[in-house]
Amino acid sequence: MDEDRRAFLESLLSTPGPSGYETDSQRVWIDYVSEFADDVTVDDYGNAVATVEGGETTVALTGHGDEIGFMVRDITDDGFLRLSRIGGSDKTVSRGQHVTIHSADGPVSGVVGQTAIHLRDRDDDESVPEIAEQFVDVGATDREEAEALLDRGDPVTFTQTITELENGRLSARAMDNRVGIWAAAEGLRRAADRGADVTVHAVSTVQEEVGLQGAKMVGFDLAPDAVLAADVTHATDSPDTPGERSTGVELGGGPAVARGSANHPVLVEALRETAEKDDIDVQLQATGLRTGTDADAFYTARGGIPSVNVGIPNRYMHTPVEVIDPEDLDAVADLMAGFAVRATEHEPFSVDL
């Protein structure tokens, strides 16, 4: 990954954008794709589509731009904040963390309180309080002081740190799914550089973490001929993964091409052929029930849009320390671009009955 692409990735990762509050992170993405797209459009909820014009066939390379987080639910008389979830935030990793409240007047620093080990009843250590029972300390001494800083409904995210680990691997909050919209943007740029003879859309959707809502909107309006949805997928190669949950997907093993459920068999085969021709290592992933990604919304839109989920291996999903391998991410962008370049070879995108 060259310097410009790395800078784009770090800008995406360092810009907060919980579901329903994606404006700032969507702007980062739009600024980048505007440098090479023929057109960029944004709908009323903030879904962004960048287009490079080509032939009549249309291919969408997508990711979701939102992240999980929290929201200020209430303020106590003593000036502490009560929280609610935005998306699937994990109660087991939130206490004892630095957070930022994104208020209308600017960021407010806080910490999620955790009773000191010296003061806790050890019998309670196995019981983790729900997010609704946890609280944020911003240093305020009473409700009035806290209300001068922020409002109920303000979004809250973990305070960001991007850390490079050994072998170039990266850890950060919001890999899910800023890496997906990075791949979609780069897939578009690389497809254009290779002279794809189809019209290619790169899409950054909103509100995936609260029900795939943005993809439902975009799928209806855009109605592409095929969708490649890039999202993180569980790398189950760490020691704490339960054996019955193992998928065989490993960090550094390349993109994970999902099979089953939403994943159209013609697109799956096209991606496997593309990977072979372009010498890209890929992994296969079984998703017999659902992918849990925007592909689940796209494939049922407008009577059915052929779709497939392309996974970016990710350890420790929905924590502040998600880990990816940038080589996997680069390979996803190459795979998406390669598919777009060869898309007409696989038309029509329909099962042969």
Q: What percent of the chain has pLDDT over 70?
A: 99
pLDDT of residue 189: 98
Query: Model-level pTM?
Result: 0.96
18-71 confidence digits (pLDDT tens): 999 999 999 999 999 999 999 999 999 999 999 999 999 999 999 999 999 999
Which structure tokens are listed for 147? 């209300």
What is the pLDDT confidence band of residue 73, given thresholds at 50, 70 and 90? very high
| Kind of pairing between the strands at 170-172 and 163-164 | antiparallel
Q: Is 261 exposed, middle or buried (0-12, 13-18, 19+ CB in 10 A)?
A: middle
Task: Calculate mean pLDDT across residues 98-126.
Answer: 88
SS3 content of the chain, % helix, strand, coil (to 5): 30, 25, 40
**Six-digit token pair at 34?**
């505007």
Instruction: Write the CATH number of the domain with boundaries 70-158.
Output: 2.40.30.40
Write out the catalytic residue numbers. 208
CA dihedral 44, 49, 52, 58 (to 10 degrees): -100
Spans of all domains in the chain: 3-67+173-346, 70-158
Q: Which CATH class name applies to 3-67+173-346? A: alpha beta
- Residues 179-195 have a mean pLDDT of 98
Decide if pLDDT at 209 tops 70: yes
